[in-house]
Amino acid sequence: MFVLLKRMLVREAVLSYRDIFLLYLLGLLGTFRFILHNLDSGQSNILMLASMIAGLYYASKKRELLGAAFFAFSIMIKYTPIIFLPYFILKRKFKLTGAIICFMVVYFLLPGVFIGMKSNLQYVKDWVPFLTQSTILDETTILDSRNQSLLSLCQRSFTLGCKKYWVDSPAMPFESFNLNQAQIKLIFIFLAVILYGLSVLKYRKKNDKKDTPFCCYVDYGLLSICVVLFNLNAWKPTFIFLLFAYMVICYYLIKTGFKEKLLIFLLGASYLLNISTMYSIFGKAFTNKLYFYSPLTLSALLVFIALVRIKFVQYRENYNLYKR
């Protein structure tokens, strides 16, 4: 994952060995505990993220079929990377999008070779209702402090529900509003539309120069954060997907000589929020209470803000270059 991300980013500029080491180090600082947590809990997020990055890497090399095969495999592990597909369509990458969908169909049908097509189709038929009828949307699961999804942040912040299941839960900032489920879902959808809109938005004039590859990588970083926050069961291992965003920000800081103080602050604050939930540093009692305030969700949102800042700086530079 680290090597492929470095190859994607560094193809635009020549970095010294010191800068490459720094790029790996800063990316690792933000995600190392999530990598270890995936290994410890036996989660599939490393395989999923590696497949997604490989797909994006080969697509950037104009090897769409190989990229689509990897990317579709990532979607088949967990469906959340599918949010990239509308972006590919908006970018007019129709060949890549079509290939991904075709490979998804192949992966859906492939088990039929071993278990029979009738049994396989029955499993596929039962899969969709399972996504909504299982514990994914259960109130206890959404309110669980370890669930750091955007929906969970909204649910815990605007209701008194936490007290129903955890009597020792701390007071939440807007719990006095005590909104109903429909209102909370509307807030979640509103925030999700804003985040996704900023991820795919193109801030440039009609006659601007074409986006650089780095502009696309910034978008990929934003969409990777959406993969985490829109996941209704965003447990700690899921936040390994911040790796793409961290590597993009760190590369930008290295390339610009660490001149952007705001980005350094946002990155540092995100790192601190990530380690704030470590029992070994802050103790179990404090950490368990802190989880209710969604520190990992806030960490991802800070990284999102940093990438949005980079995105609009890049488009402004492209526009100024065109005018010259």
Mean pLDDT of 13-39: 90
Cβ-based neighbours of 173, under 8 Å, separated by 6 or more: 157
* pLDDT for the residue numbered 207: 47
Mean pLDDT of 191-219: 79
pLDDT digits (tens, 9 = 90+) for 266-283: 999 999 999 988 888 888
pLDDT digits (tens, 9 = 90+) for 123-144: 888 877 776 665 556 788 888 8
**Which residue type occupies 197?**
G
Report the distance separating Cα 228 and Cα 297, nearest Å: 9
* pLDDT for the residue numbered 260: 92
Cβ-based neighbours of 254, under 8 Å, separated by 6 or more: 15, 19, 22, 23
Q: Residue 196: what are its φ and ψ, rounded to 5°?
A: -70, -40
DSSP letter, residue 237 = G
Q: Which of residues 123 and 190 earns the better pLDDT score?
A: 190
- The secondary element (H helix, E strand) that includes residue 216 is helix 213-229
* pLDDT for the residue numbered 272: 94
Q: Among the listed ranges 114-123, 243-252, 271-280, 307-316, which one has the minimum average pLDDT value?
A: 307-316
Domain boundaries defined on the chain: 2-37+197-323, 44-133
* pLDDT for the residue numbered 52: 97
| % of residues, the chain, pLDDT over 70 | 91
Cβ-based neighbours of 90, under 8 Å, separated by 6 or more: 200
Q: Could you identify the residue written with the tokens 């080969």?
A: 58
The pLDDT of residue 157 is above 70:
yes
Q: In angstroms, what CA-CA distances link 165 with 145, 146, 197, 307?
A: 11, 13, 35, 36
Report the distance separating Cα 91 and Cα 217, nearest Å: 13
